[in-house]
Structure 1
Amino acid sequence: MLKTAAYAAASAQSPLAPHSIERREPGPNEVLIDILYCGVCHSDIHQARDEWGGSIFPMVPGHEIVGRIAQVGAQVGKFQVGDAVGVGCFVDSCRECPQCRDGLQQYCDQGMTGTYNSRERAGGAPTFGGYSTRITVDQDYVLRIPASIPLDRAAPLLCAGITTYSPLKHYGVKAGDRVAVVGLGGLGHMAVKLAAAMGANVTVLSTSESKRDAALALGAQDFAATRDPAVFKTLARSFDFIIDSVSGEHDYNAYLSLLKVDGTMVLLGIPETPAPVAAGLLISKRRRLAGSMIGGIAETQEMLDFCAEHGIASDIELIDIAGINEAYERMIKGDVRYRFVIDIASLERAA
């Protein structure tokens, strides 16, 4: 076993602090990755504070991992030492159910094995994430980072990037489609970039007028501040597709009214309180209300290659690991544009 420096939450009430974990030597089909950067996802906060229930402590969060291969197992053929690679939200799945066979591991019938706050399928040991200096992962759950994407800005693509790319691709968003993005945070800013790169006409819908210039700079063609109720009348039946990236409570029905006939609205956030949906809004225009969760390994690699082709990367604020607790508080306040990324070299210096 390999002693590994990390940052962990000892309990739901504890701030993250230095911790030591053990990583296994890579097996025949595994690679050992020296972690360089790890993105900070809002779900890290939910799980570290046990807001979703069932959290496993001590917990080392982090599922937006980028690094370089340090060691490969004897049967590894996909990667070699020195390759730039990434690990996203999961590190294993059953591999046998229809979804796994179709490359939809995120919807595994037995449940995907999360990169952290989960249990390994063999032995049941808890998984630990990317707020650490290295990780051992089966080669089939590792992504190749294209050379043209800066490694620190690539990290959030492994969650925020694929979470927004997958529904855009699944529902066939194409050039000329009118797409609305609800919310301009870590997810929303990636949705704007990706939809614009697909040739869509993008409008950002936000409660904050102050985000107008940022939305347009990211590639949106238009912006609407939704605190004004007149906006919903002005934009009624305007959009082919809506990506809703907001996790706070809001009125789905107001946004459904903005869809054209056969329009689709996809939910990415999970508000704490279930929201009522008016059947008449769906029935009257054959609208769809759907959900989507990250993406499978093949689709995530496709997304990374698409980003490389179109010069897309996440907009980030690079932080030292010592600033992670402050970063959590700033995220809760929405005070980040648009994703914190931890420089893991700072953890090595602190170890």
Structure 2
Amino acid sequence: MTTGEIPNEFQGYGVLKNGDWFKTQLISYPRKNINPKDVVIKNICCGICGSDLLTLKQQWGPMLREDGCVVGHEIIGHVIATGTEVTEFKVGDRVGVGAHCTSCGGCARCKSDNEQYCLQGVDTYNDVDGLHDDYITQGGYSSHFIANEKEVFAIPAELSSEEAAPLMCAGLTVFSPLVREVGYNATGKTMGIIGIGGLGHLAVQFGKAIGANVVAFSRSSSKKKQALEMGASTFVATGEEKDWTTNFKDGFDLILNCAIGIDGLNLDDYISVLKVGAKFVSVGLPDVKEKYSVSPFTFLQHGAAFGSSLLGSKKEANYMLKLAAEKGVRPWIEKVPVNAKSCSEALQRCDAGDVRYRFVLTDFDKAFSQ
């Protein structure tokens, strides 16, 4: 590998630790070292995720960098260099990276297609990378990115870069629990999806793509038409249909909660409509202060289980991308050119719920000088 064309400093739109959480500005920062299994990517675009907001608001924990935190973990770009031990990718390949940028590769979790749970694994931004000299990671609102090849995914030609970006986090986050709980062929199974937003609108589409009967849950009926268009067979407005649980006894093989906020979510109601032995899985992560409340008796009566899921494996990501290409699963996106003003506006609109259903930052070739 030659590093002559790889800048020693990358550029990105970051937020200062003690500044307003939504005010981005162009900053430069030293890149991390390139390990033998690393892939160096020149970024094309990056999706905006709810995780970005929660990190910038410091609701999941403090910002770790004083010189500005660059978020973004729905990255699409072209490979411009590879480490000496990289075997899967070559210069010029179009690839994506999600919310995980490296893992050890040697532990039991990594060796069983569970590398997203690696105890030495590193988040794409605002995390200490012990496998790269304790470098504090910076994300994808940036000119370049470096990731271990295990965390890098080839993008099918049928998907545009902007369509592929939200699949890196939102898509994989919902796809992994769907296939782990009901299988890659879910024909004859019924799943419920709570929250028709950035995560949920993809969960509905993927549920249909693997053959499941999909029931969409939302508090009001405002998104009913859209949910049915996405592939839901039934829509339930829980705030308007007070007796909805009566109609769904023993109704679900899986309920997936995609809502970030859990205030007002009655977990007992959802557990009560699961089939015996079925599971309620949550993928939306709220402020750390928010807690679920449920009676143990509800679980007991249904032999039900409560679970959670983190991202997804590379094996699942590759299958997901192939399925999306073949079945027409596409995120509903709004494109935004990456600059300080538009990043700030998009983050605020995302915080207000004013997006249907994913922002994607574009025009990276115009924004960065490297």
**TM-score, scaled relative to structure 1:** 0.94
Task: Give the match's secondary structure for 2:199.
Answer: helix
- Out of 302, 316, 319, the position equivalent to 1:299 is 316
Task: Give the match's secondary structure for 2:156.
Answer: coil
- Out of 250, 254, 278, the position equivalent to 1:237 is 250
Structure 1 residues 270 and 32 mapped into 2: Cα distance closer, same or farther (>3 Å)?
A: closer
Which residue in the other structure is 1:21 paired with?
29
* Residue pair 1:226, 1:232 contacting (<8 A) in 2 also: no
* Residue pair 2:129, 2:136 contacting (<8 A) in 1 also: yes
Instruction: Give CA-to-partner distance per residue, 1:103-151, whole Å, 9 cap, x none.
Output: 21221234x2111101222311211110001112232321111111111
The whole-number CA distance in structure 1 between the counterparts of 2:34 and 2:61 is: 31
The whole-number CA distance in structure 1 between the counterparts of 2:149 and 2:252 is: 40
Which residue in the other structure is 1:339 paired with?
358
* Residue pair 2:125, 2:137 contacting (<8 A) in 1 also: yes
- Out of 238, 249, 260, the position equivalent to 2:275 is 260
Q: Which runs of structure 2 are paired with 1:164-175 in the superposition (5 Å)?
A: 164-173=174-183, 174-175=186-187
The whole-number CA distance in structure 2 between the counterparts of 1:349 and 1:64 is: 18
The whole-number CA distance in structure 2 between the counterparts of 1:10 and 1:344 is: 23
The whole-number CA distance in structure 2 between the counterparts of 1:241 and 1:284 is: 16
The whole-number CA distance in structure 1 between the counterparts of 2:351 and 2:71 is: 16
Structure 1 residues 27 and 268 mapped into 2: Cα distance closer, same or farther (>3 Å)?
A: closer
The whole-number CA distance in structure 2 between the counterparts of 1:201 and 1:29 is: 41
Amino acid at match of 2:118: C
Amino acid at match of 1:286: G
After alignment, is 249-258 or 31-40 more displaced? 249-258
Amino acid at match of 1:260: K
The whole-number CA distance in structure 2 between the counterparts of 1:208 and 1:12 is: 37
The whole-number CA distance in structure 1 between the counterparts of 2:234 and 2:12 is: 43
* Residue pair 2:251, 2:275 contacting (<8 A) in 1 also: yes
| Matching of residue 120 in structure 1 with residue 129 in structure 2 | yes
Which residue in the other structure is 2:266 paired with?
251
- State, as a whole percentage, how many aligned pairs show the same letter: 34
Which residue in the other structure is 1:326 paired with?
345
Amino acid at match of 2:52: D
Instruction: Give CA-to-partner distance per residue, 1:201-250, whole Å, 9 cap, x none.
Output: 11111012110000011011110111022223333332221111112122
Which residue in the other structure is 1:222 paired with?
234
Which residue in the other structure is 2:3 paired with?
none
- Out of 281, 284, 291, the position equivalent to 1:274 is 291
Displacement of 1:260 in angstroms is 2.2
Displacement of 1:6 in angstroms is 0.7
The whole-number CA distance in structure 2 between the counterparts of 1:274 and 1:46 is: 16
Structure 2 runs not aligned, ≥5 long: 1-6
- Out of 3, 10, 28, the position equivalent to 1:4 is 10
The whole-number CA distance in structure 1 between the counterparts of 2:350 and 2:89 is: 35
Amino acid at match of 1:339: R
Q: How many residues align?
A: 350
Structure 1 runs not aligned, ≥5 long: none
Q: CA RMSD in A?
A: 1.9
Task: Give the match's secondary structure for 1:300.
Answer: helix
Which residue in the other structure is 1:52 paired with?
60
